[in-house]
Chain A
Amino acid sequence: MPGTRDGALGRSPLLSRLAVHIVLIVFALYTLLPLTWLLIATTKNTADLFGTPGFSFARFSLGDNLVRLFTVDDGIYARWLGNTFVYAIVGAAASVIVSFLAGYAFDKFEFPGKERWFASVLIGVLVPAAVTTMPLYLLASATGIVNTFWGVFLPSIASPFGVYLARIFSNSYVPNEVIEAARIDGARELKIFTSIVLPLMRPGVVTLFLMAFSGIWNGFFLPLVMLTDTALYPVALGLYTWNGQAVADPSMAAVVITGSLIAMLPVIGLFLGLQRFWQAGIGTGAVK
C-alpha cells in the first residue's frame, strides 16, 4: 500500500532509508538462507552432504536422490504424500466448516450463556495436546479407530483456535444489516450462511483453511501416537522415522533431505497461490 499513508519517516533522508533496507535485507537472508541450503543439499549425495561446505555445489545427484526417495522401502514415500493430501484436504475442509459454523453462531446469534460457552472454547485453546493424546489413544483403541485414517482425521477437526478466529472474521466481514435483510426476505439460516456469509468471509475461510491444512500437513504428535502401520503415515512422521534410521545408516540422510524439500512444496505452493487472502486474513486477526 505505498503512498496511501503518510508516516513520519516519509521525508527521511537517504541514509535512514538505506539503513531500513539493510535491516530488512539481513532478516530476509536469515529466513531464506536455510531454505537455500536445503535446495543445494538436495542436489548432493550423502558423502558430499557431509564432505562439502553447505553452500557450495558438488556432484549433481538430485536425480539419484529422487529415484532413491521414491524407491526406498518399496516406494512408500509416494504413499505418504498421498496419505497426507487426504488427511490435510479432508481434515482442513471439515475443520473450516465446523469452525465457521460455530464462530458465526457466536458472533451473530444471541443465546443464553453465550460468553460462558465461548470461554470454554478459549480454555480448549490452552489444553496441551500432551494431556489428551494418551487417553485419546486408549479410547481410540477401545473403539478400534486406532491405526486407521479415522484415528488421525476425527480428532483434528474440532479446533478451538479456529472457532476463536472464525468469530473474529464473522465480526469484521459480515455486517449485521446484510443478515437482517436476508432474514426479512425470508431466507433460511443455513441458506444465509452458505450463500451470503461464507462468500463474505472468503479471506477468513482461506486463512483458516491454510492454517488447518498446514497444521495437519506438518502434524506429527497425533499420528506418532495413533498409527503403527507405516503405510498409513503422513509424510512428516515418515521423515521422522527415516531420520531416526539415518543414525545407523547415514546414507538415509540424503533421502531425508530430498524428502523434506518435496514435502514442503505443496504447502509453499498453496500459500503463494492464495497469498492475497491469507495476508488479509491474518491481518483481520491482528486488528481485533
Chain B
Amino acid sequence: MKYTRYTRPFAAAAVVVAAALAFSGCASAAPAAPTPTGPVDITFSSWLRGSQQVVDAFNASQKDVIVHFESVASGVDNYPQLAKQAEAHTLPDVVTTEYSRVADLASQGVLADLSKIAGDFVKKSYPESIQSLVTFGGKTWSVPLDAGTVQLYYRDDLFKQYGVKVPTTWDEYYTAAKAIKAADPNARIGSTVLSDMGLLAALAWQNGAQWAKAGDKAWDIHIDDDATLAWAKSYQKLLDEDLVWKDEAQALQQKQASGQLLSVISGSWYGAGLSQTFADQAGKWRVAKLPAPASGPSTGMLGGSSFGISKDSKKADAALKFIKWMTTTPEGIKARINGGISTVFPVNETARAAAVAAFDPKFFGGQDIYKVAAEGLANIPKWTWSPATATTMSALNDASAAVKAGTAPLASMFALAQKATVDALKNRNIAVN
C-alpha cells in the first residue's frame, strides 16, 4: 500500500464538508509523526529509469531507513502535480527535479531549504558550475544526480564520406554545414535547435548568457542579454541559408534513419536512446565536444536531475541519507544502471567511475564517451534558472513558430520571452529588478 492511496470508500460524502474547510485554507492530512525507535519510513517519487532498483538496493543495504517508491509521470507532467501536492500537503519526502525547475518548485512550496543539512555536502561533492544550479539566493535546494552536458553526436562514416572535418568551433560548424549541403542537397549537418527550447537555452548558456540571477532581494532577468543575441545572430545564418533541417521530430527521425542527418546536438543522456533507436547504425556514431564559440571552449546543459526534500517532510535526515547514497556512491549508480539501459552521467566523480565501468562503448565504435562528457562538464559556465522557467520555455516555443516559418528573426524570440517571464514573476509578486 502506498502512501497517498487512502482507500476510504465513502470519502466522497465528506467532500461537501471539506469544501468549506478547503475554502478557508485549512487543508487536512498532516503526515504522521516519525516513530522514535526502529527504522524510519520515507517516501520517494521519481520518473527516472531504474529508480525502483535503486530503492530496492538501498533498502537491502541498511536497516535504518525504509524507502517506499512511487513511480510518477515524467518531468513536465510531474511538476504541476508536485505543486498541487504541496497545496494539499501530500508530498512524498523525496522528490525528483530537473535543474531547470528547482527554483520553480522552491517557489511553489515543494522544496525545503537544505542549506543547513546539505549545504556543505553539495559544496564539497560537486563542481562549481553544478552547484550554481541548485544553490542560489543563498540557499541550497537540492542534491544533483547527473548532468546533460551538451555535445555533438555525429555520423563518423558520413563525415568521412563527404570529406568534411568534424567541427570544433561554430565557425567550422557553419563551413562544414555548407560543405555537406553542397556535397548532397538531400543531406544536412544537423537540425535546428528550434525543436527544443532547452537546447536553445543551452547554446545561449554556452555563449556566456545569464538569463536569471538571484540577488539579495530580487531577481535579475536578462533573457535578451548581449550574449544571447550575439549567439542568435550567428546562428541565423544557418537558418537563412537552409543549412540545417527545420522539420519536426517525427520527420527528423525519418531523416536520421535514412542518413540525411549527419549530427545531433543533445545532452549526454542521448546516447542511450540513440543506440536503442538506431541499433542498425551501430559503430557509425561518435561523440565530440560541442563546437566552441569564439570566446573559447565551453558548453551548456540540457536536462539532468537532482533530488530535493519536500517542505512538509518531517524526516529530512533519513531522506538526506537516501539521497546521498543515490547520488554519490558507486553502489547507488550501479543499482540504477542495472535497472536497464541508461547513460546516466553522474556529476559526482566517485559515482561516475561506476557508470564508466558499466558502459558498453560498442555502439560508438569503442569511444569513451564519458571522457568527452567529463571534459565538457568542466567547461560549463555558471547558470541559474528563474522560478518562471516554464513560462520562459512556453514563450520561446510559441515564438519559435514564426522563426521556423521564416517570418521573424531568431533574435526576436528573446525579448518576447523576457517580457513573458518578467510579467509572470511580477504577477506572482516575486521581486524583479
Contacts and interface: CB of A to CB of B under 8 A. Distances in A.
Chains A and B in contact, CB within 8 Å: yes
B87 A228 contact: no
Contact of A143 (B15, B73, B256, B270): B15
B90 A141 contact: yes
Contacts of B76: 244
Nearest to A72: B340
A6 interface: no
B12 A145 contact: yes
Contact of B4 (A143, A148, A249): A148
B340 to A, nearest CB: 8
Contacts of A228: 4, 45, 70, 72-73, 78, 81, 85
B77 A224 contact: yes
A147 interface: yes
Interface string B281-293: 1000000000000
Interface string B64-87: 000000111110111001001101
Contacts of A237: 73
A254 to B, nearest CB: 9
B393 interface: no
A142 B74 contact: no
A145 B427 CA distance: 32
A73 B9 CA distance: 30
A216 to B, nearest CB: 17
A230 B277 contact: no
Contact of B254 (A51, A73, A141, A144): A51
B12 A154 contact: yes
B281 to A, nearest CB: 8
A150 B9 contact: yes
B269 to A, nearest CB: 7
Contacts of B52: 74
Contacts of B249: 247, 250
A138 B90 CA distance: 12
Most chain A CB atoms below 10 A, which of B4, B49, B249? B4
B11 A51 contact: no
Contacts of B9: 150
Given A47-B257, A154-B12, A231 B71 contact: yes
A70 to B, nearest CB: 15
Interface stretch (B16-24, B174-182, B305-313): B16-24
A142 B277 contact: no
Contact of A141 (B47, B84, B258): B84
B233 to A, nearest CB: 28
Interface size of A as a range: 35 or more
B273 A250 contact: yes
A245 to B, nearest CB: 6
Interface in A223-239: 224, 228-232, 237
A57 interface: no
A50 B6 contact: no
Contact of B88 (A141, A229, A232): A141
Interface in B323-349: none
A261 to B, nearest CB: 18
Q: Is the interface of A mostly helix, strand, loop or mixed?
A: helix
Contact of B71 (A51, A73, A138): A73
Contact of B6 (A47, A138, A145, A244): A145
Given A47-B257, A143-B12, A230-B73, A148 B88 contact: no
B183 interface: no
A275 to B, nearest CB: 35
Given A144-B29, A247-B249, A139 B15 contact: yes
B6 A245 contact: no
Given A231-B71, A241-B73, A50 B270 contact: no
Given A142-B22, A142-B88, A229-B70, A147 B277 contact: no
A138 B87 contact: yes
A229 B84 contact: no
Interface in B25-42: 27-29
B124 interface: no
Contacts of B276: 46, 249, 251
B146 to A, nearest CB: 13
Contacts of B45: 228
A184 interface: no
Given A142-B18, A248-B273, A47 B70 contact: no
Contact of B5 (A47, A229, A251): A229
A139 B15 CA distance: 6
Contact of A250 (B4, B71, B81, B253): B253
B60 interface: no
A48 B278 CA distance: 9
Nearest to B6: A144
B12 A50 contact: no
A153 B33 CA distance: 31
A251 B270 CA distance: 11
Contact of B74 (A145, A150, A241, A250): A241
A47 B278 contact: yes
A48 B81 CA distance: 36
B61 interface: no
18 contacts: A46-B276, A46-B278, A47-B278, A47-B279, A50-B254, A73-B49, A142-B22, A142-B27, A142-B28, A143-B15, A146-B90, A150-B8, A154-B12, A229-B71, A237-B73, A245-B74, A250-B277, A251-B277
Given A51-B254, A253-B253, 15 more contacts: A46-B278, A142-B18, A142-B21, A144-B29, A145-B8, A148-B7, A149-B7, A228-B4, A228-B70, A228-B78, A229-B5, A230-B72, A231-B70, A241-B77, A244-B76
Interface of B: 2, 4-9, 11-12, 14-15, 18-19, 21-22, 27-29, 45, 47, 49, 52, 70-74, 76-78, 81, 84-85, 87-88, 90, 249-250, 253-254, 256-258, 269-270, 272-273, 276-281, 303
Interface of A: 45-48, 50-51, 73-74, 76, 137-150, 154, 224, 228-232, 237, 241, 244-245, 247-251, 253
